[in-house]
Structure 1
Amino acid sequence: MIVWVLYDIENDKNRNKVAKFCKQKGLYRVQLSAFLGTMERSDIDELSLMIEPLIDEAIDKVYIFTMSQHDLKKCKMLGQAFDKKLITDEVKSLFI
C-alpha cells in the first residue's frame, strides 16, 4: 500500500532519526519532512513503534497515512510537489 509519512519534530537529533528510519523502511523523501513509498501493514506498525519514543507528544506531530495507488493518482499536486533535489524523475514515475 502507498504510505505517506509527514512530520514536524522540534528536536534535530530525533527528527534526523525519524528520517533515517523512513529511509530504512524504503520510503522516498519527497520534501524535507515528507516521505512517500510502499509498505506492508506490519512495516507501518513497526515504523510507528520506532518513531513513537522519539517524539514529544506535547509539541511534535507525525502523520502516517495510507492510500491506494488509484487514490494517489487522483491527488492534485501543485507547484513543486516533489523537491527536485530529493527525488528523481525515475522515483516520481513509480507513484504518479
Structure 2
Amino acid sequence: MRCLLIYDIPDDRVRTRIADFCLDYGLDRIQYSAFVGELSSNHQEELMLKIQQRLGNAAGKVELFPICRQDWRSRLSIEQSGPAVDGKEPGSGRR
C-alpha cells in the first residue's frame, strides 16, 4: 500500500537517521521531512518500531498515513522550477 510518512524532529542526528531508515525501506523523499512509497502492513509496523527505538526519549513527531489507490489517484500536485535569473527563463543563458 502507498504510504506517506512525515516527521518533525528537532535533533539533526536523529532526523538524519530517520531519513536513512525511510530510504532503506524504499521510500522516496518528496520534501525535507516527507517521504512516500509502497510499504506492506508488516513493513509499516517494522519501520515505525525502528523509528520509535531510534527516537528514544528525543523530541519528535512521526506520522505514517496509508493512502488507498483511489485517494492517491485523486491527489492534486503543483511542481515548478524556481524563478528566472536576471529576467531570463531557466536554461536560456549562455553555455
C-alpha RMSD over aligned residues: 1.9
Cα offset, 1:70, TM superposition: 1.5
Cα offset, 1:15, TM superposition: 0.3
| Correspondence for 1:80 | 79
Cα offset, 1:56, TM superposition: 6.1
Per-residue CA distance 1:15-61 (angstroms, 9 max, x = gap): 00100000000000011100000010000000000000233668411
SS at match of 2:15: helix
Code of the aligned partner of 2:79: Q
Q: Which ranges of 4 or more aligned residues in structure 1 deviate by more than 3 Å?
A: 56-59
| Correspondence for 1:64 | 64
1:1-96 equivalences under 5 Å are: 1-55=1-55, 59-77=59-77, 79-80=78-79
Cα offset, 1:68, TM superposition: 1.2
SS at match of 2:72: helix
Alignment length, in residue pairs? Answer: 80
Identify unmatched segments of 5+ residues in structure 1.
82-96
Identity of aligned residues (%): 32
- The TM-score, its normalising length taken from structure 2, stands at 0.75
Code of the aligned partner of 2:43: D
- The TM-score, its normalising length taken from structure 1, stands at 0.75
Per-residue CA distance 1:56-84 (angstroms, 9 max, x = gap): 6684111101011221111222x439xxx
- Cα distance in 2 for partners of 1:16, 1:35 equals 13
